[in-house]
Amino acid sequence: MLDLANQANLLDIRGVCRSFPKGSGEELLVLENVDLTIHSGEIVGLLGRSGSGKSTLLRIIAGLIAPSSGNAKCRGETIAGPPNGVSMVFQSFALFPWLTVLQNVELGLEALGVESAERRTRALAAIDLIGLDGFESAYPKELSGGMRQRVGFARALVVHPDLLLMDEPFSALDVLTAETLRTDLIDLWVEGRLPIKSVLMVTHNIEEAVLMCDRILVFSSNPGRVAAEIKIDLPHPRNRLDPTFRQLVDSIYARMTQRPETKTPAIEGIQGTGVGMILNHVSSNVLSGLLETLAGPPYNGHADLPVLAGHLQLEADDIFHLGESLQLLRFAQLSEGDLMLTDAGKRFANLETDARKRLFAEHLINYVPVMGLIRRVLDERPSHTAPAARFRNELEDYMAEDQADETLKTIVSWARYAELFAYDEQSETFSLENPH
């Protein structure tokens, strides 16, 4: 009985963890104890913020990287190297620019050693299916983004995989093109014309996940964990304006802005505490602009995130970053999918430039520990200078190198705006002197 049940599972992920070396040489956990099962005939979405490890999980399933611990099985076999019966669609399309559309599509079959006549027939069939007729001899650079991603789909489908992996396949496309491609794909899926059994897609676009998936796994960040599993029972084709659809989107927004259970002063998304806090770079201009927008009508200090995202034409991920930065600086508060201005935030919106800078500086010192630390060190040293490497080393005790880069970049840009301290790019030193 148990065996039979297992056979229906295309994919079995049990307790998978993955860590990467940090800047300081220790390991940084990006994926913690993930369980995932995929059955035949479903579209599953992995939804999460950037850095939540969902792409890492996809690459483990694709056999491109190995899990640090845990068990990943595809069709009952442990994954070691790209498994048979799995193919992948890439965010950046990953087409070979020196091969024509037809040659790109045939490539996967060539690697499998499929004989040339059959190769041609199958490639043409896949090209036909995905709506690329007439483009067979074109080179990728001659195609628009949407057409290129269609080649990506044709290339993945032509090998008739059981499981199709998609890594944010629509996020490099403009809104209209992405929507056309999504509906085309869903139509083919509903009509049963895709030569595949299941789909696993990674996305950070909440509406996209609700539009396409039968099941959504919401990932939380640092380390990446499955925070929730949501079943979507709406029939295809789904309507974005349908109240049930909207409600689902709202509830996922709310869930993703929820504070975590653990009792740390950290806010979801702003990772780590104290000096080890990872700061995502958001320009102070954008922050001021957002504060002004929130303070003015129609929001008057209180905005619903999906509405705000729609109004500002931002992806959910971007709006989360902005909201979290404001929350970190105590200019606004995130909860249940809403963003509310604090008193300080309202005050900021009504101040003149110099007063804004002073308020910003005050909040930086009080609420961003690393800013306070740098300022203190600079005050204490007789020379009032300190090499950036000193703080970078400290940051790298807590985070990976690129995260430390991003955090340093944020520190420099915020400190410059607040006129807290200066930074010289050439000598890579912080100092208290501002150039006159």
Partner 1 sequence: MTLDDILTPRLGQALRPNIWDAVALILVIGAMVLIVYGGEQTTLPLSALDVSPVSLDPTNLPAYALRTTMRMLLAIVCSIIFTFIYAALAAKSRRAEMVLIPLLDILQSVPILGFLTFTVVFFLNLFPGEVLGAELACVFAIFTSQAWNMTFSMYQSIRNVPKDLEEASQSFHLSGWQRFWRLDVPFAMPGLIWNTMMSMSGGWFFVVASEAITVGNTTVTLPGIGSYVALGIQKQNLPAIGYAILTMLLVIIAYDQLLFRPVVAWADKFRFEQTASATEPTSWMLDLFRRTRALRALTYPFAALNKAFSNLHLAIPGKLRIPVKRGPPSRVIDAVWLALILASTGYAAWRAYRYLSATLTPSDVLAALGYGFITLARVIVLITLASLIWVPVGVWIGLRPKLAERIQPLAQFLAAFPANLAFPVFVVIIVRYSLDPNIWLSPLMILGTQWYILFNVIAGASAFPTDLREAAGSFHLSGWRWWVKVILPGIFPYYITGAITASGGSWNASIVAEVASWGDTHLTASGLGAYIADATEAGDFPRVVLGIAVMCILVTLFNRLLWRPLYAFGERRLRLG
Residues that bind partner 1 (CB under 8 A): 59, 62-66, 80-82, 84, 86-88, 90-94, 96-98, 107-108, 110-113, 139-142, 148, 155, 159, 426
Q: Is 78 helix (H, G, I), strand (E, B) or coil?
A: strand
Q: Could you tell me the smallest distance in angstroms from the CB atom of residue 94 to partner 1?
A: 4
Q: Please tell me what DSSP assigns to residue 287.
A: H
Q: How far apart are CA 123 and CA 111, in angstroms?
A: 13
| Sheet containing 302-304: order of strands | 302-304, 338-341, 332-335
Give me the DSSP letters along 117-163. HHHHHHHHHHHHHTT-TT-TT--GGGS-HHHHHHHHHHHHHTT--SE
Asked if residues 293 and 322 have their Cβ atoms less than 8 Å apart, the reply is no
Q: Could you tell me the smallest distance in angstroms from the CB atom of residue 92 to partner 1?
A: 5
Q: How far apart are CA 126 and CA 105, in angstroms?
A: 8
Q: Which of 98, 174 has the CB closer to partner 1?
A: 98
Q: Could you tell me the smallest distance in angstroms from the CB atom of residue 115 to partner 1?
A: 11
Burial of 296 (0-12, 13-18, 19+ CB in 10 A): exposed
Q: Which of 108, 345 has the CB closer to partner 1?
A: 108
Q: Which of 108, 323 has the CB closer to partner 1?
A: 108
Q: How far apart are CA 371 and CA 358, in angstroms?
A: 14
Q: Could you tell me the smallest distance in angstroms from the CB atom of residue 66 to partner 1?
A: 5
Q: Could you tell me the smallest distance in angstroms from the CB atom of residue 165 to partner 1?
A: 8
Structure token digits, residue 113? 């050693």
Spell out a b/e string for 227-241, using b for 16 or more CB atoms within 10 Å of the CB, else e. Answer: beebebeeeeebeee
Q: Which of 21, 296 has the CB closer to partner 1?
A: 21
Q: Which of 143, 218 has the CB closer to partner 1?
A: 143
Q: Could you tell me the smallest distance in angstroms from the CB atom of residue 248 to partner 1?
A: 32
Q: Could you tell me the smallest distance in angstroms from the CB atom of residue 392 to partner 1?
A: 17
Q: Could you tell me the smallest distance in angstroms from the CB atom of residue 136 to partner 1?
A: 16
Q: Which of 94, 190 has the CB closer to partner 1?
A: 94
β-pair type (429-431, 422-424) = antiparallel
Asked if residues 58 and 200 have their Cβ atoms less than 8 Å apart, the reply is yes
Report CA Rg, the chain.
Answer: 24
Q: Which of 36, 114 has the CB closer to partner 1?
A: 114
Q: Which of 97, 192 has the CB closer to partner 1?
A: 97
